[in-house]
Structure formats: C-alpha cells, structure tokens
Amino acid sequence: MEKAVQHKLISTALKAIPLGSIKPQGWLKNQLQIQADGFTGHLDEHWEDVGPNNGWLGGNGDSWERGPYYLDGLLPLAYLLDDPKLIAKTKPWIEWALASQREDGSFGPNDLRQENAILHDNQDWWQEMIMLKVLIQYQEATNDERVIPFMEKYFSYLQEALIQYPLKEWAQARGADLLLSIHWLYEKNKDDSLLDLTEIVREQTTDWSKIFDKFPFWRKQEQWDHRTHVVNVAMGIKTPAVFYRQTNNDWEKEAVYKGIESLMTYHGQAHGMFSGDEWLSGTHPSQGVELCAVVEYMFSMENLVRILGDGKFGDILEKVAFNALPATISEEWDAHQYDQQVNQVICNAAHRPWSNNAEANMFGLEPNFGCCTSNMHQGWPKFTASAWMATEDGGVAAISYVPCNVQTLVADGKDLEITVRTEYPFRETVTMEVNVSESIRFPLLLRVPEWCVNFEVKINGEVQNAIVKNGFARFEREWNKDDVIEVTLPMEVKLEERNNEAVSVNRGPLVFALPIGEQWVKVQERVRFHDWEIYPTSAWRYGLVKDATFTVEIQDIVYQPYNTADAPIKLVTTGRQVANWVMENNSAGAPPLNPIPYRDAKEETIELVPYGAAKLRIGEFPVLK
C-alpha cells in the first residue's frame, strides 16, 4: 500500500558528517590550537559576559546571546581537538541548559523559580535558537540521550507559544536557524507534527526568498532595518534554500543564486564577502565588514552546499575562510576587529563613514560591541566539521581540500577512513589515502573549484577522466585499502575587476594584498586581551603597473601561516606610487579611476602576501595605464 502523499521535507543533496568524524590536521589543526590557546580557550577567564555569572550558567549576568554564541564555537573546538580541558569547560553550560527545561518544555535563563516560562510581548526566541545549534553539535559528538527528548519537548511547547508570541526582530530575521534545528530533529525522529511547526516558523520568518529574488538594496544603507543588517543578511542568504526544503519552490532555490549575485554586485568586496559596517555598505574597499557576518556567511555556505549540493558554495566558503576570517583576528588570536577593510591603511579610534563607532576597526577584546567577541569562535571549527559530507547514495564528498582525517560510514554502514595530506591553499597538490578493511564500492565526489581550469585527479598513479556535475567530479568504483588519490589544483594569478577599473589579485582561493608596515600601539592594557591601534610604517598608495607579471615565491609553511614575514607564498610584481590617491575620512580613499603616478616615483618591485596575513594592507589596487 502506498501512503497518501503528505507534506514532507525535501532531502538535502548532501548530509553532514557528525561532529568529531573529521579531525583537523596540519596547518588547519594549528589554527584550531591557536584559537584554543587564545580567545576561545580563555575568554571565560577574562570577559565577564561569558564568565561564571552568565545567565546561561544560572548567574544574573548576560542572559541573551553571548553565552550560547561562545559555546557555539567552544564546543565544536573542544571535540575537534579532543581537548579534555576545553570539553570540561563546555560541561557546566550544557548541563545547565539541559537542566533548565521547565514543565512546559521551555528552557533557558528566565526565572527558574517558575514552573513555566514567563512570556511577554517582547519575548525574544533568538538566544534559544543558538543554544539548540550547540546542543545538536553536542549530541553528535557524544550521543547524549537527553538531547533528543529535550528538543522534542521544547518544539512541542513552541508549537503553541509561537502562535501567541511570534518571532520578532532578530529572531524573525534569523528564523532559518530555528528551522535547521527542527529539520535536524525531524530527520532523527520522523515525527510529522514537527512539519506543522516548520510551517509556523517559516511563515513568521522574514521572507528572504522574496528579498533575494528581487533584491531592493542597491546602495549603502544608513538606517535601522533588520533586512539590511549585515549579519542578518549573511544568515538570511541560506533561508530560501531552507524554505525550499518545505515548499519545493524552484524559484526559492534560484533566489539564493540571485541574492549572492546582487550582494556581490552592489556590496561585494575583494575577499568574497559583502560589506556592512552595520548595514549593507556598498563596494568601496574602505567600508567595513563585521566579523560576525564573516563567520555567519561561512555557516550559511556550509548549509547551502549541504542542502543544494552545488560546489559553488564550497568555493565561496573557502574564499571567505582563507581570507576574510584570518584577516580580522590577530596572529595569536588575542585581539580581533569588529570591522575589517579591504584597503586598511590604519586601525585607530577615528570617525569613519560607517554606522559603527570610532573603535570598530581597532584590534581588541570588544571593539564597538561584544557580539563578535562571543560569536567569532564558530568559524574554523564548523568549517573543519563541514570539510567533507556524505552523499545520498552512500558515498562521500570533499567540500574543501584542507588537511584532515575523515572517519565515517559509507555504502550502508561500512567503515571508511580518508587521510588528506596537503598544505592547500598555500600549495596546489592534495594527497588522499584511503583506508578500508575490505574492498567497498561507493562514490567519491571531489569539488572542482570554478577558478581551477586544469583540475587533475590521479588514482593510484593513473590520470582519471572526471565527469563534473554541480561543481563536483564523481568517482564511483571499488575502493581498496591504501588507494591513493592525488588531486592537483593548478592556481593561476587572476586579476578580478572591481569598481572603477580597480583590481584585486587572486591565485586559487587566496586573495593577495600589499602588506603595509605595522606598528602596534597598546591603547588599553588588561591582564590579557589588550586593545591596539595599528599605525602604518611604510607607504601604501601603490597602484599596479599595467600588464605587470607575477612571480610566485614559496617559503616553508610555519605554525601560523597568516603572518606577513613568514607568508608561505608571495607574489612578486611591479607597482608605482600614485599621487592622486589620498586619505579620506580616516581611511584610504577609493582607488582613483585615473591614477597618476608621482612624477619622481619609479616602478618598484613589490611583494604581495595572502590577504589574511596582512593586518594593514591594500587589497584593491588602481592600475596605472
């Protein structure tokens, strides 16, 4: 008997692999360790907002997003590094959250003396949405049996509570994050009543599908509006795909692509993100991009590649992860910016034409506002956990070529281990070693980046013919122990055209910038995590000479490759100082459309480094005619 057709969730093209199955190696592991030794492993000791008095630990301090935000990065980091100290730090938060559930199913820091939640017209559901994302990762890492019943009880509570107190403000803009958690639970328990809740939430969430289908925000925005708030937009871009799973509307799937194209056209920046120094801010390379937007856009790309199965989202994910993320955090992960600029020639407290305050581009503990201080931690850990995914038909897919070890199940439950050895994206080759106990047939998908023209795959030394679909090359065969896959991703220097004939320099997924000499000046001293201004000690106003060539210089990769002096790869080219390029509003002015060289300035050899390494830099250049 066939069941009557019911409303169901459309399957995702790829499936996430549980947290802990993909372990970082090489330079990526070092990034995670650096973050554990810096902010992520020690923030609770030095910043009261996530300290023992946080509301999510039963205290009377911050009870909104900061605790859950912190855990959303600390928890995956702890399990990816298998670090007992960090895991111990997550425990009180998890235990408190699970124990906080009330009779009616609600949870979180309300007033625990009450049996039930006390709701009011300004009820904000946002902080709970974050904690649900934390609990999902916790369940995947530990299989703790309490999580699923906890979520079932909470969602059955929400079914009524949301009708009376609908999503508003932040929660309304970010409803897709709640849907991700409901979808996750539905895939575990197949309880159809959850599908009613998904419709309630979808109807209450900002209609990002409509916004991205016909994008209305063409210019720099200056007024309060959740639809142009840069973090909301970075989160919102996944929403049409999340909705599509429920509505099956192809136009919503398309809205994701149209939205990304519009964002890049009207607000795009050289590092693959769009600007927003609070609100969407246009293409000027001195506008800011908030760190929260960087990590949330990465999370959106991780979900988009999972739901839609298009490698294009892996390309964007890598570009943002390898460039925008390290650029805005100090080498030792002990200071960060709220807003980064592509052309960042000075970081100091000064008024700039953006909505954030004068301190927003300084490096420190909480410049401008503490959201990024608590939210930045999810970037590398979730990226690591998403580097590989499972296919619908029992195989695996490489989303990113970062060094890692993957242990997962393929072909109906058989063990597979793949070790990925590489220094990609600082190098062009990747070696994968397959470990299986018996020969197993399954498909292996390798992402073919759009920038890569001569992508090559060898299996056990033999060059393969790849059929590329949706940005992935598929290799279905009997895999045996010790099979070796060698992937070569030749990287060419490509100039990307920016506004007014300026250019940015790309090689593979890396963006290259001219580093400016940096003098770090401590402006506020604390026990740890000080605040800094950075002043330039060398000239910045270089244009590139027309048709200049680029020579690649390679150095050994060091513990922290995002470092100007020891950059593992440099591009040597020719530049010349430009006379009509000046400071405006405490930043570099827009690259001049008709750059005029200084009469006395000769052509000079200049060295470009990965964008993420240089904290003062030029990332968008005028070109001398």
Give contact residues for Zn ion (rule: CB under 5 A): 292, 371-372
Shortest distance, position 228 Cβ to Zn ion, whole Å:
15
Cβ nearer to Zn ion, comparing 338 with 542 = 338
- From the CA atom positions of the chain, what is the Rg in Å? 24
| 244: exposed, middle or buried (Cβ count in 10 Å: 0-12, 13-18, 19+) | buried
For residue 366, the minimal CB distance to Zn ion (Å) is: 10
CB of 371 to Zn ion, least distance (A): 3
Minimum CB distance to Zn ion, residue 236 (Å):
15
For residue 249, count other CB atoms closer than 10 A to its CB.
13
* Of residues 292 and 609, the one with the C-beta less far from Zn ion: 292
Shortest distance (Å) from residue 189 CB to Zn ion = 34
- Rounded to whole angstroms, the Cα distance separating 55 from 58 reads 5
Closest CA to 160 of 126, 197, 115: 197
Q: How far is the CB of 283 from Zn ion (least distance, A)?
A: 21
Which C-beta is closer to Zn ion: that of 371 or that of 514? 371
Residue among 321 and 372 whose Cβ is closer to Zn ion: 372
What 3-state class would DSSP assign to 233? helix
> Closest CB to Zn ion among 140 and 277?
277
Min dist CB 454 to Zn ion, Å, is 40
The H or E element that residue 388 is part of is strand 388-391
CA dihedral over 279, 283, 286, 290, signed as positive or negative: positive
Return the residue nearest Zn ion (CB atom): 292
Residue with Cβ nearer Zn ion (294 or 390): 294
Query: Least Å distance between CB 290 and Zn ion?
Result: 5
**What separation, in Å, do the N-terminal and C-terminal C-alpha atoms of the chain show?**
73
> What string of H, E and C letters represents the secondary structure of 393-429?
CCCEEECCCCCEEEEEEECCCEEEEEEEEECCCCCCE
Vertex 355 angle, CA 353 and 358, to 5°? 70
Residues 6 or more apart whose CB falls under 8 angstroms from that of 610 comprise: 322, 323, 426, 510, 511, 512, 513, 561, 562, 567, 568, 569
Q: How far is the CB of 248 from Zn ion (least distance, A)?
A: 34
**Going by DSSP bridges, is the β-strand pair 440-447/472-479 parallel, antiparallel, or unpaired?**
antiparallel
The Cα–Cα gap between 406 and 16 comes to 12
Of the two residues 291 and 609, which places its CB atom closer to Zn ion in the complex? 291
Between residues 36 and 371, which has the closer beta carbon with respect to Zn ion? 371
Of residues 371 and 406, the one with the C-beta less far from Zn ion: 371
Distance CA 256, CA 252 (A): 7
